Structure 1
Amino acid sequence: MAENPSDRYNQGMATRRAVLGDAHVDRAEAAKTDFDAPFQDLITEAAWGHVWSRPQWSKRERSMVTIALLAALGQDEEVAMHVRATANTGATKDDLVEAMLHVAIYAGVPAANHAIKIIKKTYQEMGAAVREEGR
């Protein structure tokens, strides 16, 4: 945690937890070292406290745009993380189909094709986890 957290940091942490879930954020915080603590504080305050906390777009809309951008950039782990977060943001499979069509046209078919594989695998893993919890 930041030494003297700002209001924006506190808002960012609340938003980060709402989107990614407490378990994910707790793991990230536990893994934080002196080396990456400044980076973690930056993304909590700037990405989560400023951008993700703005009221102009819903979390669903931000989720779709984020996944499309990450897919276009080839950020596989981040795509999977944000697909898992759709359970909290309300972005649907149909939303991601549309996002990947945009990626295909504006960033290239190979980028979309690769991201679709990651999205499908992540949804399969999420379904397996839900089935395990439902026992």
Structure 2
Amino acid sequence: MDQQPETGWSGGRNVFGDFAPGMVHYTDRVLFDEVWERAGLSKRDRSLVTVAALTAMGKMEQLQFHLAFARQNGVTDDELKEALLQLAFYAGWPNGMGATTVLKTIVEKAD
């Protein structure tokens, strides 16, 4: 893969280092540098959409990052709790419970 200048985002590199350079590239350069920076939605709205999708699919490992990222992007804890309650009825109670457990852990660690 061609060497490209470093970007402001390094989440993929932090997770994978040199282990999976393709995953690092697409995570850092495409997903977070291109998709997340598009003007069509605010980062706050992108975070809510992402949290909803990951909750619906039961992807708790990815939710650990994205719930914390949603908080950084301006989504309040109360809004996240409400979103997860709503999702529990549409995405399945176990997924909603799992996501709420992840959020609770994040909030408690931040306190």
Q: CA RMSD in A?
A: 2.5
1:46 deviates by 2.2
Q: Deviations over 1:76-117 (max 9, x none)?
A: 222111222234211111221232133213211111011111
What residue ranges of structure 2 are gaps of 5+ in the alignment?
A: none
- The aligned residue for residue 3 of structure 2 is 3
Q: Check if 1:32 corresponds to 2:17.
A: yes
Cα distance in 2 between the residues matched to 1:48 and 1:79? 16
Instruction: Identify if the C-alpha distance between structure 1 residues 55 and 36 changes in structure 2 by more than 3 Å, giving closer, same or farther.
Output: same
1:97 alignment partner, one of 81, 100, 105? 81
Q: Is the 8 A contact 2:12 2:23 kept in 1?
A: no
3-state SS, counterpart of residue 52 of structure 2: helix
2:31 alignment partner, one of 47, 50, 53? 47
Identify the structure with the greater helix proportion: 1
Cα distance in 2 between the residues matched to 1:102 and 1:57? 21
* Residue type of the alignment partner of 1:71: T
Instruction: Identify if the C-alpha distance between structure 1 residues 87 and 116 changes in structure 2 by more than 3 Å, giving closer, same or farther.
Output: closer
Q: Which runs of structure 1 show a deviation greater than 4 angstroms over 4 or more consecutive aligned residues?
A: none
- The aligned residue for residue 92 of structure 2 is 108
Aligned residues: 111
Q: Is the 8 A contact 1:74 1:111 kept in 2?
A: yes
Q: TM-score, normalised by structure 2?
A: 0.81
